């Protein structure tokens, strides 16, 4: 895998650039909610990592939470804790706890370094195994494109990939723990994915109903719920 510190460095640049090129929501209330949920989950993550002797994994995180005004049901987290939620997912999240489901899930992908795995594979395939720093220097645009794809940022421009089934399952479980520790009822996740399942229309790969199927996901979440409830700080 690529050293995580290199990807964190890349995310600082790419996140700022993304924000400068996209419309940040001017809705004060919704923006505050995104930042509030993010702050609570960040505290929960720090606590969880400390309990598991993994604090070094987030030592160079500089959390940031932004709401982007775009009608696409999506969200993502770059390494280093750079999070974007799109306004288009709020009709599905509905409540603050619903938003915590989504943000917990996306943050879990970053904490579990799923993007790193995808980025490492992509660099290997697309550049024949160049070191990341070399790839950044010699093919900056291509490398940036791979980065955006690996972290699910490209959804709205059609270059995103679904995470693998095992990544999804891990992010679901870890996400439930994070939201529960942050004070949100993890049971809300079942309701959120139920709403996703009922909705038709175009969804980005991260929220495709076929991956895993909504039924499988909801069954898995329900099976894990007794464990998640143990972390729930009411
Ligand atoms: Zn996911």
- pTM: predicted TM-score of the whole model, two decimal places: 0.94
Distance, CA 208 to ligand 1 centroid (Å)?
Answer: 10
> What pLDDT digit, counting tens, does each position of 12-39 carry?
999 999 999 999 999 999 999 999 999 9
Contact 47, 40 (CB under 8 A): no
- Maximum Cα–Cα distance across the chain: 51
Residues 6+ apart with CB under 8 A from 84: 15, 18, 19, 66, 67, 68, 75, 76, 77, 153
C-alpha–C-alpha distance, residues 206 and 150, integer Å: 11
Torsion angle of C-alpha atoms 33, 220, 76, 34, degrees rounded to 10: 0
Rounded-to-integer distance, Cα 203 and Cα 184, Å: 25
pLDDT digit string, tens, across residues 57-104? 999 999 999 999 999 899 999 999 999 999 999 999 999 999 999 999
Distance 205 CA to ligand 1 centre (A): 9
Q: Is 157's pLDDT higher than 50?
A: no
CA of residue 196 to ligand 1 center, whole Å: 13
């Amino acid at each position: 895998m690529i050293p995580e510190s290199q990807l964190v460095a890349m995310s600082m640049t790419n996140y700022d650039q993304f924000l400068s090129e996209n419309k940040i929501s001017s809705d004060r209330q919704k923006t505050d909610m995104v930042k509030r949920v993010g702050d609570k989950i960040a505290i929960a993550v720090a606590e969880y990592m400390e309990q598991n002797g993994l604090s070094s994994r987030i030592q160079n995180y500089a959390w940031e939470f932004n709401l982007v005004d775009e009608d696409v049901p999506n969200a993502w987290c770059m390494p280093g804790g750079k999070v974007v939620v799109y306004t288009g997912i709020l009709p599905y999240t509905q409540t603050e706890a619903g938003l915590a489901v989504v943000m917990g899930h996306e943050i879990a992908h970053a904490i579990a370094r799923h993007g790193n795995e995808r980025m490492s594979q992509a660099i290997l395939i697309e550049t024949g195994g160049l070191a990341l720093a070399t790839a950044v220097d010699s093919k900056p645009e291509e490398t940036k494109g791979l980065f955006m794809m690996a972290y699910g940022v490209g959804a709205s421009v059609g270059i995103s990939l679904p995470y693998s089934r095992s990544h999804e399952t891990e992010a679901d479980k870890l996400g439930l723990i994070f939201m529960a520790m942050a004070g949100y009822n993890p049971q809300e996740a079942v309701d959120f994915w139920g709403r996703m399942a009922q909705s038709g229309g175009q969804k980005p790969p991260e929220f495709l109903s076929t991956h895993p199927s909504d039924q499988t996901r909801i069954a898995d979440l329900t099976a894990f719920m007794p464990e998640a409830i143990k972390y729930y700080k009411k």
